[in-house]
Structure 1
Amino acid sequence: MTGSKFSGLKAMREKRHQETEAPSVPEAAPDVTPVSEPPKRKVGRPPGKRSNPEYQQVTVLLHGQTYLEVRKRLLDQRTEVSDLINDLLNDWLNR
């Protein structure tokens, strides 16, 4: 072997550093007016409750068996535990 396993990385870093130090000639900006494209949808999942400022993350301690049974029932209804707890707390506040 002729060097450490990181010698190639060091050489690439030095080369990049030399390229950035070299004086660059500013290119003339083209006189083309950019065509506005319609906004594209982002790929991936839609933003969830965690990124919604109307929601606040809290920690709740529940009995394990209770939580398991609740999750089983909610799975059939396609409802999240947080939605159930939110509904129950709103009902409790409105009493």
Structure 2
Amino acid sequence: MTGSKFASLRAMRERREQDADAELLSQSVPDAAPPIPEEPRRRVGRPPGKRSNPEYQQVTVLLHGQTYLEARKRLLDERKEVSTLLNELLDEWLKR
């Protein structure tokens, strides 16, 4: 028995890689077309949001439940987030 239960798998992979390298070296195509550049891959999943943006700071705020509920209802109609509303209100307050 070998030292590792995965040693034979490692050896098979190394042999396969060597065979692939040897095959590439043996193929010589004098007038080969230049390789087509790959397009950048799009990331899978959600786009980065405010949480990953260093310009934003996460805070916790205690609001009256009914006030928050009414605000969320209105913000849904306007397709806005609570954080956007709070930023706008604080900016206006700071300008006074």
Query: What is the identity percentage for the equivalent residue pairs of Structure 1 and Structure 2?
Result: 65
Paired position in structure 2 for 1:44: 45
TM-score (norm 1): 0.67
Q: Give the match's secondary structure for 1:66.
A: helix
TM-score (norm 2): 0.66
**Alpha-carbon distance, 1:43 to partner:** 2.2
**Post-superposition CA distance 1:1-56 (Å, at most 9, x none):** xxxxxxxxxxxxx62x434786x57835856x875311021122211110111111
Alignment of 1:72-91 (within 5 A): 72-91=73-92
Assess, with a 3 A threshold, how the Cα gap between structure 1 residues 49 and 20 changes in structure 2: closer, same or farther: same
Q: Give the match's secondary structure for 2:66.
A: helix
Tell me the C-alpha RMSD between the 2 structures: 2.7
Q: Give the match's secondary structure for 1:68.
A: helix
The 4+ residue runs of structure 1 with deviation greater than 6 A are none
Paired position in structure 2 for 1:67: 68
Unaligned 5+ segments in structure 2 are 26-33
Q: Give the match's secondary structure for 2:80.
A: coil
Which has the larger helix fraction? 2
